[in-house]
Amino acid sequence: MLGLSAAGAWRYEQHVHRQPDWQIHHTAVPGAAKKVDAVLAQFERDHLYKAGDYLHSAGQHPDVQVLSVTGETHWGTGVTLILKVTGRGVARGFDQTVLQQGDVPICFRLQMGPEKDTRDDDIDCPAGAPLPVPEDPSLQGVDERLQRALNRVGPDESAVRAAVAKLKLDSAIHQDFAAKDGIVGVALQASQYDCVVARVKAPGDTTLWRPSHTQLAPGELGCSAGLAMSGEFDTSPH
């Protein structure tokens, strides 16, 4: 009995010292895969088809790095991306006691077209640094500040420009202004689908509008100050 107990203890000791790395990696894969699900859902939602757009979109997701992109378009050459995604894994003993846990990189291959989309999970990560992807600025939290700033001024373009300048927004946020028939229009755009349009008619009479994802799709309205003076302002998508 003593020999059997000793053998069992030895096997447990080997498990403790040899298995945690494998367990951490293995249990990190499902969480990393969910992040790739979100990447693919964004691809579909934005109707992407160009290699550069896939790269930019994937690189905006937290804990996702793009290691390589090959091909040009979905329907032409097809586009292949290799993603490195951070997953959280845990190693447990036979009694489910947590032995170790940590973040580990898990790599995925996405094949977008030309005939069908496929993915391979938990592939060997290739060597090399991730591709540089500039992070998009954000208009989160800007709406109320913009509303207050514009409510203090009337439909005077120079005053409106000065009011927006005082907000000290990220320089990467595109600003557009236009004036027509006693109305000043303002458009702030941080990315393709992150847009705020404002119509200033009088002091205290400012309307803010965020066009929908559908309305901001390529070939649709676009984020511009002129939109504030058009009949499309503050409408719902058809």
Structure confidence at residue 41 as a pLDDT band (50, 70, 90): very high
Separation between Cα atoms, residue 235 and residue 161, nearest integer Å = 25
List the chain domain ranges: 2-123, 142-229
Above 50 in pLDDT, residue 9?
A: no
Structure confidence at residue 184 as a pLDDT band (50, 70, 90): very high
Above 50 in pLDDT, residue 97?
A: yes
Query: Could you write out the DSSP letters of every residue in 197-217?
Result: EEEEEETTEEEEE---TTTTS
Give pTM, 2 decimals.
Answer: 0.80
Closest CA to 103 of 114, 93, 89, 91: 89
Residues in the chain: 238
Above 70 in pLDDT, residue 53?
A: yes
Separation between Cα atoms, residue 25 and residue 100, nearest integer Å = 11
pLDDT of residue 230: 92
